[in-house]
Amino acid sequence: MRYVVGYQPDERGADAVALGVAIARAQGVGLDIVYVVPENAPFVSVQPRGRRIRAGEQEITNARRQALKLVPSDVEADFRVVDADSFSEGLIKTAQEDEAALIVIGAASSGVFKRFTIGSVANALLHASPVPVALAPRGYQNQGPLTRLTAFIGDRPGAQAARDVAVSAASRRGLPLRLVSLVALDTHEHSDSGEAIHQAHLHANSVLAEAASKLLEGTATVTVAHGRSIEQAIDSLDWEDGELVIIGSGRLAQHNRLFLGSTALKVLRALPVPMVVVPRPHDHGAGERRVPHV
């Protein structure tokens, strides 16, 4: 199993490598660190020794050295140069060729306070990727190990896929799993707020029972977080440095593709920790559903 890490020789690229290492560590997962160059560029790789290196090739050599320097010795990593029309296209192409389980990228560089903003690369991936996409917040430097997985639960399409991935990943890694139901009270009349929270608790406990029955290793807990907005609800939660959030793609997503809905986008902007977005699977029946390995 491989993870594809989108790399550029900047802070965003370093964030992506750090997150790739954190998720891959101790799982026997290798990293393909992908450096994308324009498809019609006159260079796509470093030439053998003895041949004069052109300026573009020197940039690739420098990028390779910088990227691999960020990877600790206990994680296997390859540096790959891929020619494509766009960065997102190159990452998706590599993930499909390698049958990768995950694409890892850094958030847009304009984020503040280690929170997220959606850049053009992330936006393109979140509309087209057939595999889960992991997003590292700006300034992410924690190379692991992971300490807890959190899955946001709900009853919309895509939520079940995220829960399945979270349960599988927590069980395989022996990590605690936290199931979180978010309630934004500004979407309810004041008289309905109590009922909304009550219904969220009922649903969360039902999901907890299902998850606990599937966990082979690790433990599961449930939390209902509420506030006047999604952002306030998320801010009310405690977060660990080694935490990873798993969320399903939006209801407008095509089968086996990602799409970040309005709620997920609010979650993303408020999170202080990395997030994995899981595509909706094609519905061939529960018995045939393939759970991605994150």
User: For 206-249, how does the pLDDT look when each residue is reduced to its tens digit (9 = 90+)?
Assistant: 666 666 666 666 688 888 877 788 888 888 899 998 999 998 87
Distance CA 68, CA 253 (A): 35
Distance CA 208, CA 223 (A): 10
In this predicted model, what pLDDT tens digit does every residue of 79-131 receive, in sequence order? 999 988 889 999 999 999 999 999 999 876 544 444 555 567 777 888 888 88
Distance CA 162, CA 281 (A): 10
| DSSP conformational letter for 78 | E
Radius of gyration of the chain (CA): 20
The domain boundary, picked from 86, 113, 136, lies at 136
**Does residue 141 belong to any structural domain of this protein?**
no
Domain count, the chain: 2
165 shares its domain with 124: no
Domain that holds residue 92: 2-136
Q: Is the pTM of this model over 0.75?
A: yes
Domain of residue 15, CATH code: 3.40.50.620
**Does residue 35 belong to any structural domain of this protein?**
yes
